[in-house]
Amino acid sequence: MTLAFSLSISGNKWTTLLKALEVNFIKHRRALSYKEKLNELVRFTYKLNGFGTDLLFKALEDPTIQVPGVDSKIPLMDKNGHLGIGMGEGNSQLEHHH
């Protein structure tokens, strides 16, 4: 959160990095909803820099919304300990070793 804010006020063009961070904030919207100050910082940062998408602001407002393009890429572990990366067709299965 503070990295995105720092990049926004640095005076440099960090568009690509800020967009990549935005996807992660959307992905972790449920965790952010438990930390009100962090949620507010993300919202403020992306309003300040003008790079925030409608989807980001909706996700910060309502963390229960479904975001298929992001949620499908969240790693899920099945009961056999395999880590599945949801990437649409041809899902890759990665074995999880202890």
Taking 60 as the threshold, does the pLDDT of residue 38 lie above it?
yes
Cα–Cα distance list, 56 to 34, 59, 73, 81, 91 (Å): 16, 5, 16, 32, 26
Expressed in angstroms, the distance from the first to the final Cα of the chain is: 31
Domains of the chain: which residue ranges?
1-65, 66-98
- Kindly report, residue by residue over 2-11, the tens digit of the pLDDT: 788 888 877 7
Supply the pTM of this predicted model: 0.66
Taking 80 as the threshold, does the pLDDT of residue 71 lie above it?
no
Cα–Cα distance list, 71 to 12, 67, 75, 84 (Å): 30, 6, 9, 13
